[in-house]
Structure 1
């Protein structure tokens, strides 16, 4: 089975969590693009969506799905998004698509977070995929020094600006055995906007192809 087939299967499996009249939180990325297509087929059953990125917003609008501002709708019943890595405790690394800040906000505002992945994203220990950190541009060097002090290898994702106007540092060389503690620690570095660890608030359900882990 190809990765794309597995991604499509995960997206189609996640549709079962969408209920009548919902406003659905929607993430970003190649797997989520399949979910948005599947959502378009049942758009008459939902009230609309809250999107975590300009890219997803454009796709949702193209399918005629109404978009809502998170401030206008309060807590969401459901958020569906992908991940770059997922461990056995449903803790994630996200941010390969540079949308981590809005993704983390929508996840925090949602009652149920369904993460859709293919098997290549499953790991025993997080960190094989470089950890994205969104930073205020003027803080890039300061944050990079703090990462080096903690044993990481920071690489500026040159040429990439987030939807929020910030920059991304990708951290290589970490085996993240305590992602909750590391997420909390990195959040305290001045200039860090968001850390791509979704550990304090991980996924509630992981859909890997047709397999459901809850």
Structure 2
């Protein structure tokens, strides 16, 4: 089974999980990235069951609208029962490293208000220690040099994210992203706080203080559900 096939399997499993566990008429929280895209593809078949969605990126919004799913601003809704999104890495406690797709700030906002965070990944994303994948940090442009210096003092090697054409990558929020290499994040909660306290940082792609509630992990043997609140199936 290829990685894309595993992602498609997990996306379908997430749609089934939401359909079975969430009431009709709710607004769904939808993340960003390739696995989230497969979830959108799968949930589109059941779009009439839901009011619509709130999205963490312009790209996901476009995909949802393509399927005729209404997309709301977060300020327009009072309740977000579930948020479904992928991760670049996830550990045994449900702490995640996210932001490879550049939407970490909006992802963190949606995660913070969602009652349940369902993380959808393939088995390659499960790690014992976070940090092999570069840690994204979204930064106000004028602070990129000072923030980079502060990140080096924390033991990382920050690099400005660029697009394939060589231009600096700009987030949907008009900010730059520093990808921090050579990290071994032993205490994700403490490191999240340390980076967020650097002046000029919008947010860091560590989701430790608000980690996943459920992980649906795809592998060659199928989809395993890990409940960080105490169950594994």
> How far apart in 1 are the matches of 2:34 and 2:14?
14
Once the two structures are TM-superposed, the CA of residue 4 in structure 1 deviates from its matched residue by 0.6
1:44 is the counterpart of 2:48: yes
1:77 is the counterpart of 2:77: no
Q: Which residue number corresponds to residue 199 of structure 1?
A: 208
1:213 is the counterpart of 2:214: no
Structure 1: 4+ residue segments shifted above 2 A: none
1:57 is the counterpart of 2:58: no
Q: Which residue number corresponds to residue 166 of structure 1?
A: 175
Residue of 107, 110, 113 corresponding to 1:106 = 110
Q: CA RMSD in A?
A: 0.7
Give the conservation status (yes or no) of the 8 Å contact 1:155–1:170: yes
Q: Which residue number corresponds to residue 230 of structure 2?
A: none
TM-score (norm 1): 0.98
Superposed, 1:138-177 pairs within 5 Å as 138-158=142-162, 159-177=168-186
> How far apart in 2 are the matches of 1:60 and 1:22?
15
> How far apart in 1 are the matches of 2:73 and 2:101?
21
Once the two structures are TM-superposed, the CA of residue 160 in structure 1 deviates from its matched residue by 0.6
1:190 is the counterpart of 2:199: yes
May I ask how many residue pairs the two structures share in their alignment?
214
What secondary structure is seen at the aligned counterpart in 1 of 2:136? Answer: strand
> How far apart in 2 are the matches of 1:41 and 1:120?
28
TM-score (norm 2): 0.90
Once the two structures are TM-superposed, the CA of residue 149 in structure 1 deviates from its matched residue by 1.0
Unaligned runs of 5+ in 1: none
> How far apart in 2 are the matches of 1:5 and 1:185?
37
